[in-house]
Amino acid sequence: MARGSSGFVAGLTAAALAAVCFLAYQASANAPDSVVDPSAGAPGTATTASPSPKPAPPAQPLAVPADSDTGKRVVYALKDRRVWLVDDAEKALRTFTVMPSAVSPLPGVYAVTSRSGSIKGSDGVPIEHVVRFANVDDVSVGFSAAQDNSMQSPDPTLKTGGVRMKRPDGDAMWTFATVGAKVVVVP
């Protein structure tokens, strides 16, 4: 090989090495912080710092609300738009979302006062498995399922008390919440 070409190869090698170094720097500069633990020190070095504590696992998002009384009960969380059917052993047998009524009861403990198998709702929608538990300003408030399985937002101009759920959830509520059953409403 001629002497002039060896300088050319050395130049190409140096350029390639510089490109690799630049790309490696870019990759390390753009690496997310979660990949590197800054308290761990460099590989192969001893550290005296104690390991960081692991974050606490998140609370169960669908757990029965803590301040919802005890025993067998229906728990209705107004803000979460969610209902839990809780047995005597404090186990949630079922939880599901609901569409709140235009009129809502205050937080507190209630009891199922009456039930109807199939009627027309105060909004004109055919409903089933109606479980009533409160009265607010002469409006009866209760859980029900629309026979067409809809969960429309209530008309805010009407004073309706139907807390709507899907039909399978209405079936479960009907079986669980007989007259006298405890209903706990939480914020």
pLDDT tens track of the chain, all 187 residues? 555 555 655 555 555 545 444 444 444 444 444 333 444 444 444 444 445 555 555 456 689 999 999 999 999 999 999 999 999 999 999 999 999 999 999 999 999 999 999 999 888 889 999 999 999 999 999 999 999 999 988 888 888 999 999 999 999 999 999 999 999 999 9
Asked, for residue 138, whether it belongs to a domain, the answer is yes
- Shortest CA distance to 119 belongs to which of 132, 134, 107, 133? 132
Tell me if 99 sits within 8 A of 167, measured CB to CB.
Answer: no
User: Same domain, yes or no, for 86 and 174?
Assistant: yes
Q: For residue 97, what are the domain limits? A: 73-186
User: Same domain, yes or no, for 33 and 104?
Assistant: no
Tokens of 163: 């807390």
How many structural domains does the chain have? 2
- Give the pLDDT score at 45: 45
Asked, for residue 55, whether it belongs to a domain, the answer is no
User: Same domain, yes or no, for 88 and 159?
Assistant: yes
Tokens of 109: 């403990």
Whole-structure pTM value: 0.67
Handedness of CA 169, 99, 86, 104 (dihedral sign): negative
Place of tokens 């104690």: 50
Asked, for residue 53, whether it belongs to a domain, the answer is no
Tell me if 184 sits within 8 A of 69, measured CB to CB.
Answer: yes
User: Same domain, yes or no, for 141 and 85?
Assistant: yes
Place of tokens 């460099």: 42
Tell me if 74 sits within 8 A of 184, measured CB to CB.
Answer: yes
Tell me if 121 sits within 8 A of 144, measured CB to CB.
Answer: yes
- Give the pLDDT score at 60: 63
- Give the pLDDT score at 39: 42
**Sequence-separated contacts (24+) of 59-68 with Cβ below 8 Å:** 62/92, 62/95, 63/92, 64/90, 64/92, 64/95, 65/186, 67/186, 68/184, 68/186
SS3 label, residue 182: strand
User: Same domain, yes or no, for 82 and 146?
Assistant: yes
User: Same domain, yes or no, for 30 and 120?
Assistant: no
- Neighbouring residues of 96: CB distance < 8 A, sequence distance ≥ 6: 82, 83, 165, 166, 169, 172
Provide the pairing of β-strand 82-86 with 73-77. Answer: antiparallel
Element containing residue 136 per DSSP (H, E) = strand 126-136
